[in-house]
């Protein structure tokens, strides 16, 4: 295309770069990596189902941006909710213990 300047101007990005927002994607990846590094989180956490599900859900259901979970919420109300959820999951299993028996094994 004659007369079309292909040089990238400062502050102006090409349509494809805007569409994929490469700079924001790179910055998000760097922030997540720093969370692991500075928080002493084990790298295998990135393989956990709920880690992957949480980021996938946040990306697919934007509501003004996700709000990070706070320290108190994680150790109080959210922990209580998780305990109730586990108890609900165990109810169907506990119902079979009288008929089938139960064994506790520890290593």
The residue assigned the tokens 């292909």 is: 6
- For 12-38, what is each residue's pLDDT tens digit? 556 665 666 778 888 888 999 999 999
More confident residue, 34 or 3: 34
| Rounded-to-integer distance, Cα 43 and Cα 45, Å | 5
- For 40-96, what is each residue's pLDDT tens digit? 999 999 999 999 998 888 888 877 666 788 889 889 998 999 999 999 988 988 888
Residue 103 structure tokens: 């064994």
Q: Where are the domains of the chain?
A: 15-95
Distances (CA, A) of 51 to 12, 20, 21, 31: 35, 23, 23, 15
pTM: 0.56
């Amino acid at each position: 295309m004659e007369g079309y300047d292909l040089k990238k101007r400062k502050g102006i990005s090409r349509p494809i770069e805007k569409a994929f927002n490469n700079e924001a994607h790179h910055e998000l990846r760097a922030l997540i990596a720093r969370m692991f590094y500075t928080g002493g989180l084990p790298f295998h956490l990135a393989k956990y189902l709920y880690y992957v599900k949480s980021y996938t859900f946040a990306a697919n259901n934007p509501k003004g941006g996700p709000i990070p979970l706070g320290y108190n919420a994680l150790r109080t109300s959210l922990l209580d909710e998780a305990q109730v959820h586990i108890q609900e999951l165990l109810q169907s299993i506990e119902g079979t213990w009288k008929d089938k028996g139960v064994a506790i094994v520890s290593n």
